[in-house]
Amino acid sequence: MKDKLFDYIEKDNFVFNLSGMTKLLCFLILTFTVMFSYDARVIAGVLIFSFWVLHVSEIRFSQIRVMLYYVLVFLAINFVLTFVFSPQYGVEIYGTKHELFTISGRYVMTREQLLYQGTKVLKYLSVIPLGMLFLLTTNPSEFAASLSSIGVSYKASFAVALTLRYFPDMIRDYNDIALSQQARGLDLSKKERLGTRLKNVMNIFVPLIFSSLDRVETVSNAMDLRSFGKHKKRTWYAFKPLKKADGAAFAVSIVIALISLGMTFFVNHGRFWNPFIS
Amino acid sequence: MKKLFEFKTKTIVATGIGAALFTLLFMFVKVPTGIPETDIQTAYGVGSFFAAMFGPIAGFLIAFIGHALSDAVQYGSPWWSWVIASGVSCCIVGLVYPKLKVDEGICTGKDLIRFNVFQIAANVISWVIVAPVLDIVIYSEPANLVFTQGAVAALWNAISMGVIGSLLLFLYSKTRSGKGSLSKE
């Protein structure tokens, strides 16, 4: 088990020097653009753009390798399941039918289905670099500041900051407890029956959760004693002031979103790009 | 008297630490059921316990932050429809909060039944209605696929909340001393 959620390695380049607020906004704008659009051309554009930004930000492949594997496995399962459950969904969406080959019964592969599932794969692939860019290039201390600067209540933002702060502690506690319980003969693997396994999980949870509740008590007392939450607003030590580059990055994201919306409303007249209508 | 939507310092801290726990369990502690890709997520059991202890806002934020964070770390980007459904499920469980007196050491059979009624309703609403509908609206996934996935998720999460959540509430009430437990000799 990793003892860190992700590695933040500071670098000095365009992407790292942007304010966390800009990166969060751009991430949200671009992911919503990709999620909304079903136009393979727009999505492929965003995919290439986001991999280019990933290159500019000097994130190494080793930092995102594990995630890439997870997503590929997920995509493969989703691809098969979609076809098994709805082999004619593409036909339903696009309203045309071009058969390629028949597998059996209603399982007829059509060009529409291939386009639909291919677009979906592109969609999910193109959001990975976007998420990575935000996660790996933003100082964790700046997370809360950027959330609160886009209008999230500072108390909720502070909860996120606490989550990131206490995650490594929780992993350490969990490992300590799990190892000492396993040394006493506790088995969590498939060799045990389901009921016994749940009971064994409880033997780890009880100490873990009760010690966390004690920690909640300690930390909230410490914060109360320092008058947390007295005022309506607060300032953030880690907040980076906005510069010209932030405006530029924001403008680029808005332009991409507008292109996508323009394609939706004026070219495709709907969320789906259908090249099969002649 | 406990108010349903209060947001004290303690709620904030419980949210932060609860979300850290949720992320950890969501990523690493799953009980395999033998059917591939359908593990019992122990995180929901703990999430429902925190929701019942600290209210609906804490419940919503714990599941929302925890699920979004672990998705972001594992898959690069959160799967928003399910992240929202997670938040909704723990938020609904949190509605039981003003009725429970677990932190005063009281946890009767009636309280546990009440908790379980809320958690089953929460799971049905969020996984059979909210998650599939959002999947269809946001991601245009095929309907019968997402409703099947939702039903399976509702079942396993209800088991997780029912077993782990109820046990934690009961055990925690045993460690608390109640009001007026001291007597004059």
CA-based nearest distance A245→chain B, Å: 24
Closest by Cα among A228, A62, A242 to A157: A228
CA-based nearest distance B21→chain A, Å: 7
Cross-chain CB nearest to B9 (options A86, A174, A223): A223
pTM value is 0.87
Residue A127 and residue A223 in contact, taking contact as beta carbons nearer than 8 Å: no
Q: Calculate helix-pair angle for B56-75, A61-85, nearest 10 degrees.
A: 100
pLDDT over 60 (residue A278): no
* ipTM associated with this complex: 0.85
Domain boundaries, chain A: 14-139+241-278, 140-237
Pick the CATH number of B9-175 from 1.20.140.10, 1.10.1760.20, 3.10.520.10, 2.70.70.10: 1.10.1760.20
Of A86 and B36, the structure prediction assigns the larger pLDDT to A86
Are B73 and A223 in contact (CB < 8 Å)?
no
Instruction: Give tens-digit pLDDT for B10-55.
Output: 899 999 999 999 998 888 887 766 665 667 888 999 999 999 989 8
* Tokens of residue A230, six digits: 């007295």
* Tokens of residue A233, six digits: 């607003």
CA distance B117 to B89: 13
Cross-chain CB nearest to B31 (options A93, A201, A212): A201
**B136 at the A interface (CB within 8 A)?**
no
3-state secondary structure of A17: helix
CA-based nearest distance B127→chain A, Å: 18
Please give the C-alpha separations between residue A255 and each of A28, A29, A251, A261, in angstroms, as whole numbers: 14, 10, 6, 10
Instruction: Give tens-digit pLDDT for B95-110.
Output: 888 888 877 777 788 8
Mutation target vs B (from A162, A218, A228, A231; most B CBs, 10 A cutoff): A162
pLDDT of residue A151: 84
pLDDT of residue B22: 92
pLDDT of residue A193: 77
pLDDT over 90 (residue B60): yes
Domain boundaries, chain B: 9-175
